[in-house]
A = this chain, B = another copy of it.
């Protein structure tokens, strides 16, 4: 029973992610998305888009990574993807400390496996991690398109900054990368995303 109790303690702690708000604006009803529902949406995308991962990608592993990837935000909160380098460094330290605390709720053997999945996602060293990261970058772009600009407008992000993130998508899936690139170009044409300044092109 001790293993089960620890596993349920971990799951309860994970549930606190329902209270962590992201920048992404949802359209119906208009409100900020939380990290729990974001994580589920990525898993649905992984199941539906599995055929666009490179051949041999282990989708079950992708999904486990996606289920766990944001759990550290229970302590560290969510950082906007376009935050500056100093903020991102602080965030990485806070997330590493959170990973130490939260995965240690589990039985030790399982803590090591889950921490390994979290590290794998962060390091993007495997096809599974790169595909998972591609979905994590694509989903907010889809929400922004639906919201008529969303966080792009709200934070004054331009197409040059978005395209810098598109390379992460291309890195995980050629097809999703190509789709995202077209999405950005269309968003500029539709006037919901500012074009890249001349010095970015």
List the interface of chain A (C-beta within 8 A of B): 1, 3-4, 7-8, 10-12, 14-19, 26, 28-29, 33-34, 36-37, 39-41, 43-45, 47-49, 51-52, 59-60, 63-64, 67-68, 71, 106, 110, 114, 142-143, 146, 175-176, 179
Contact = CB atoms under 8 A, between A and B. Distances in A.
A43 B41 contact: no
Contacts of A41: 11, 14-15, 18, 36
Contacts of A71: 44
A189 B140 CA distance: 46
Contacts of A3: 51
**Total copies of the chain:** 2
Contacts of A60: 59-60, 63
A3 B176 CA distance: 12
Contacts of A33: 18
Given A4-B175, A63-B63, A179-B4, A68 B44 contact: yes
Contacts of A19: 26, 28-29
Given A11-B41, A19-B28, A48-B114, 11 more contacts: A3-B51, A4-B175, A7-B48, A15-B41, A15-B44, A40-B40, A40-B43, A40-B67, A44-B67, A48-B106, A59-B60
Contacts of A52: 4
Given A68-B44, A68-B47, A142 B8 contact: yes
A37 B44 CA distance: 12
Q: Name, among A7, A11, A40, A43, the residue most crowded by chain B CB atoms within 10 Å (CB to CB).
A: A40
Q: Which 4 A-B pairs have the closest CB atoms?
A: A40-B40, A60-B60, A36-B37, A7-B48
A172 to B, nearest CB: 14
8 contacts: A4-B175, A7-B49, A8-B142, A14-B44, A18-B26, A47-B67, A48-B106, A63-B67
Contacts of A40: 17, 36-37, 39-40, 43, 67
